């Protein structure tokens, strides 16, 4: 590709002037600097340093865990009233709204995502905090008065304890907001590790938590690399639960580390999500959804619609329409409000995407659009369509995590369901058909945590999110999101005289 991506130097300088580049970790209510060693983050779009965060060490992770343990065992938060917890969470949501533009700039510069998209994510994050605040006041147990005249039974829900929260780089503030407010609503204390590539907005969130009145030590934020910071967070005996979002491979390692002390785990992992399109679908809507699903967030999304399963009768026409639509997808400067697709997160990741495409071509697949990086000082990839794909190809089964969509064809409903289930993942899927029987058959037959009908990647905090098989363990969001951070305790009460065990 010879297209050149122009970058606006003035917009970049104006954005950088709005926040400090150097940041500190937060442990026990104090700033921490990890002995002065830092990680520099360069904007993948602009190539300049945008933030510097401490390179946390194992001892920093252990100090954060100790602070969280102390805050849970001795602090007021686990015993705080639901109304007061809710009040703090609502204040955090208001502060996120207040700082929405600043947070969006941080995420756009560090991750390369378009600023318009980042603004939407920050708005969505605030909405999740408000939903968690509502659930905080609904958390309740059970009572049983039908066990006999001299017995009562109570089932209590208590906070599980210290939670390690590990988040990825692709949705920095949004994903921590799918975890942290629900843990706090339950009364837990937390240690949070954002990706070393996108730490700024999470660190800013820590300041907002303090401003909202969260007690010291209840939320501790440690920055750094997985082997140095993440490993202690998953293995330390003082951690009661791990909530992780990231790759399936790292998720397996985190589960293995937690298994030694039988920690509860919540894992939101990879996906290879199909959009199944039948001949009777609204084609304009389906093409639009395919465009969005494939290239939203540059395809760096576990929920990306990275597989098109097209009925053979409409496959060629659909791909032609999609290729034409791809020409109108603007790849460009993340700070440009009109940009649809921003930069790829890192040079190494761009090479991985290119390696996937090279292997697909070598295996006989055909690139119908895109297929190469774009000329720029930054890291940009053209929206790419790969056809002639068979289910056995790696590109049809493995997560590319880039702006790449593959197309496969089917002839019968049963074949479509089999294709949809032909990967190790099961995060989400969509079905496009005006026929209710067809839509329900696919919805029930595909093994995935979310099935969309005639839409794609819609979401709301009220609906749970998570996957089958190697897409994860457990669910986030939804009415049970706070309960997930609790333990059940049975309280069995006997009143009056008790009959002795000995007979006679």
Q: Would you call 157 helix, strand, or coil by DSSP?
A: strand
**What is the chain's length?**
504
Respond yes or no: is residue 302 known to be catalytic: yes
Q: SS3 string of 216-256?
A: CCCEEECCCCHHHHHHHHHHCCCCCEEEEECCHHHHHHHHH
Q: Tokens standing for 395?
A: 């590109």
Contacts of 1 (CB under 8 A, 6+ apart): 370, 371, 372, 373, 374, 375, 382
CA-to-CA separations, 338 to 114, 332, 342, 378, 425, in angstroms, rounded: 8, 9, 11, 18, 33
Q: Which of 228, 301, 302, 476 is catalytic?
A: 302
Q: Where are the alpha helices (DSSP H) in 137-188?
A: 172-176, 180-186
Per the annotation, the verdict on 190 as an active-site residue is no
Q: Which of 268, 300, 399, 476 is catalytic?
A: 268
Q: How far apart are the first and last CA of the chain?
A: 94
**Residue 361: strand, helix, or coil:** helix
Helix/strand/coil (H/E/C) assignment for every residue in 277-317: ECCCCCHHHHHHHHHHHHHHHHHCCCCCCCEEEEECCCHHH
Cα–Cα dist 386/309, whole Å: 12
Strand order in the sheet with 142-144: 142-144, 151-159, 486-494
Residue pair 449/461 in contact (Cβ under 8 Å)? The answer is no
What burial letters (b/e) apply to 54-82, b meaning 16+ CB within 10 Å? bbbbeebbbbbbbbbbbbbeebebbebeb
Q: Do residues 124 and 174 lie in contact, with contact meaning Cβ atoms separated by under 8 Å? A: yes
- Check: CB of residue 445 under 8 Å from CB of residue 412: no
| Phi/psi of residue 94, nearest 5 degrees | -65, -40
Q: How many CB atoms lie within 10 A of CB 496?
A: 7
**Structure tokens given for 94:** 């208001």
Q: Are 65 and 28 in contact (CB under 8 A)?
A: no
What are the two backbone dihedrals, phi and then psi, of residue 71, each rounded to the nearest 5 degrees?
-65, -30
Taking CA atoms, 480 is separated from 87, 88, 186, 471, 483, in Å, by: 20, 20, 11, 19, 5
Q: What is the rounded distance in angstroms from the CA atom of residue 442 to the CA atom of residue 276?
A: 8
Longest dimension (CA), the chain: 96
Give catalytic residue positions. 268, 302
């Amino acid at each position: 590709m010879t297209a050149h991506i122009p970058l606006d130097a003035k917009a970049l300088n104006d954005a950088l002037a709005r926040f400090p580049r150097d940041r500190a970790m937060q442990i026990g209510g104090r700033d921490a600097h990890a002995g002065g060693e830092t990680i520099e983050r360069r904007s993948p779009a602009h190539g300049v340093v945008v933030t510097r965060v401490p390179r946390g060490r194992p001892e920093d992770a252990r100090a954060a865990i100790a602070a969280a343990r102390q805050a849970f065992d001795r602090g007021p938060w686990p015993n705080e009233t639901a109304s007061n917890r809710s009040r703090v969470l609502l204040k955090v949501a208001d502060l996120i709204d207040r700082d929405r533009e600043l947070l969006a700039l941080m995420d756009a510069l560090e991750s390369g995502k378009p600023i318009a998209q980042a603004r939407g994510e920050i708005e969505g994050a605030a909405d999740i905090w408000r939903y968690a605040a509502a659930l905080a006041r609904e958390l309740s147990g059970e009572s049983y008065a039908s066990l006999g005249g001299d017995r009562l039974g109570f089932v209590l829900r208590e906070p599980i304890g210290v939670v390690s929260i590990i988040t990825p780089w692709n949705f920095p503030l949004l994903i921590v907001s799918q975890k942290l407010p629900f843990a706090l609503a339950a009364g837990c204390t937390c240690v949070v590790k954002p990706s070393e590539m996108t730490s700024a907005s999470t660190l800013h969130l820590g300041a907002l938590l303090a401003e909202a009145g969260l007690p010291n030590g209840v939320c501790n934020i440690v920055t750094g690399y997985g082997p140095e910071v993440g490993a202690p967070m998953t293995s330390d005996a003082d951690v009661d639960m791990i909530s992780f979002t990231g790759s399936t491979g790292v998720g397996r390692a985190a589960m293995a580390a937690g298994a030694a002390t039988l920690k509860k785990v919540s894992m939101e992992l990879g996906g290879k999500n199909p959009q199944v399109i039948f001949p009777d679908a609204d084609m304009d809507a389906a093409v639009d959804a395919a465009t969005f699903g494939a290239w939203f967030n540059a395809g760096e999304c576990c929920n990306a619609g990275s597989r098109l399963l097209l009925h053979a009768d409409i496959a060629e026409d659909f791909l032609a329409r999609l290729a034409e639509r791809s020409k109108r997808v603007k790849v460009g400067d993340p700070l440009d409000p009109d940009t649809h697709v921003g930069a790829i997160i890192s040079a190494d990741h761009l090479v991985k995407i290119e390696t996937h495409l090279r292997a697909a071509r070598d295996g006989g697949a055909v690139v119908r659009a895109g297929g190469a990086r774009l000329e720029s000082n930054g890291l940009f990839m053209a929206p790419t369509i790969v056809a002639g794909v068979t289910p056995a190809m790696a590109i049809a089964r493995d997560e590319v995590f880039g702006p790449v969509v593959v197309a496969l064809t089917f002839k019968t409903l049963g074949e479509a369901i089999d294709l949809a289930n032909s990967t190790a993942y099961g995060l989400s899927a969509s079905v496009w058909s005006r026929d209710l029987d067809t839509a329900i058959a696919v919805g029930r037959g595909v093994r995935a945590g979310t099935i969309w009908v005639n839409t794609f990647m819609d979401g709301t905090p009220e609906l749970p999110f998570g996957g089958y098989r190697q897409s994860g363990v457990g669910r986030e969001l939804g009415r049970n999101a706070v309960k997930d951070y609790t333990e059940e305790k049975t309280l069995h009460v006997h009143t009056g005289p008790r009959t002795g065990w000995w007979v006679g």
